[in-house]
Structure 1
Amino acid sequence: MRILIVDDDQLIRENAAEYLSGLGYDVLTAADGSEAARLLDQPDQVQVLLTDVMLQGWLDGGDLVEMARLRVPGMPIVIMSGFSEGLLGRLAGLQPPLRFLSKPFSLAHLEETLARAVAGGAAP
């Protein structure tokens, strides 16, 4: 399964990619929404999206989620953020499967959240 990790923090991106690769996932990374959008444009390139909400550039994480929903309906998505207040209000209209991962997170929590997203549906 191919996962796209989108985060402008290089350390988070690299650590998550290394960990998930070790679990057997095929991992792509992007430092911003524009780079992620190009990867989402390629047919069958990405099966799961793991994105930060706050991204540099013209396309933030919320916009990227909306774009992914249009391009790959039903794609499991995990949204990461250090800011949880108010964020879920903006994303509340998005359909499952959608999960939220609060930063900072442990790699074990990342693995668990991702597995639940892939297994089906949004968190209760």
Structure 2
Amino acid sequence: MDGIRRVMVVEDEVMLLLDLVENLADFGIESLPLMMADGAARTLCKSDIDALITDIELPGNNSGLDLAWRCAQLKPSMPIVVVSGGVRPTRSQLPPNAIFVPKPYDIQQILDGLDRRMQRAA
């Protein structure tokens, strides 16, 4: 995938996190895996992250939507994929540079979402 080499992945379900990290690696994309949104925005600022993939419902004080909006403020052109198996956000609940992919998903849906956001940012 052109332009995306390193992705922050925030997912609290360990098996889903490991599976997504492994699938991204199969496409040559390095992942920075996290299990909570708390502190992720600070990490995002200090890292050379090209995109964000986050679940909505996460432990801690911040949700994945909170993280997505903070990311959009810090890096407005960064592609964001928001995922959830429960909550289905409306378009207005997502930052402009984000796309929603419902769980269960396959890796191609995630890659397509990142690609669409990259094209939109260009």
Q: Under TM normalisation by the shorter chain, which class is it? A: 0.7 to 0.9
Q: Which runs of 5+ in 1 are unaligned?
A: none
Aligned residues: 117
Give distance in 2, aligned partners of 1:111 and 1:89. Answer: 19
Identity of aligned residues (%): 26
2:36 alignment partner, one of 24, 32, 36: 32
Aligned to 1:88: 90
Moved over 6 A (4+): none
Aligned to 1:111: 111
Q: Which runs of 5+ in 2 are unaligned?
A: none
Deviation (angstroms), 1:45: 2.1
TM value normalised by structure 1: 0.83
Give distance in 2, aligned partners of 1:89 and 1:22. Answer: 30
**Cα contact 1:39–1:46 (8 A) shared by 2:** no
TM value normalised by structure 2: 0.84
Question: 1:64 and 2:89 equivalent?
Answer: no
Give distance in 1, aligned partners of 2:54 and 2:43. Answer: 13
